[in-house]
Amino acid sequence: MAGSAGSSAGKRAGSRRGPRRRSRHSPRLLLLTGGITALVVAWGYLVWAAIDFGAAARAGEQVAWAFLALASLGAVACLFAGLMLGVRLLRMLGVLSPQALGEPVDPDRAPKPKGGKRAAR
């Protein structure tokens, strides 16, 4: 075979490399990670404050009970918002898909029936 050493010139010859992936660094990803970090830090501070207010409330300070309730509610809200942003970040990175969360891909289009053409008859 003449010319077969070193080059493949068949009709299916081509580069074995796939298309280059674009960089995943975007301002939106940085904003999400910054928001998650800020919410987790705020959550930690509010939990620490709630523990401190709880100790003061048990020592007899009546106003500390109100601050304990506010710090607890704030900590719950921060943790919830941080988890929601975390899910959004994982969806943007492609770790979670809408199907995994039970959401249809396109709300205007009905999901495909299972079983193919034969089951549709």
Kindly report the average pLDDT of the chain as a whole number. Answer: 83
How far is 29 from 79, CA to CA, in rounded Å? 19
* pLDDT at res. 8: 57
* pLDDT at res. 15: 66
pTM: 0.62
Task: From 58, 75, 74, 57, select the one nearest 66 (Cα to Cα).
Answer: 57
Task: Output the DSSP codes for 44-108.
Answer: HHHHHHHHHHHHHHHTT-SHHHHHHHHHHHHHHHHHHHHHHHHHHHHHHHTSS-TTTTT--S-TT
- Encode pLDDT of 66-120 as tens digits: 999 999 999 999 999 999 999 999 998 888 887 666 665 566 766 666 776 676 6
3-state DSSP assignment of residue 5: coil
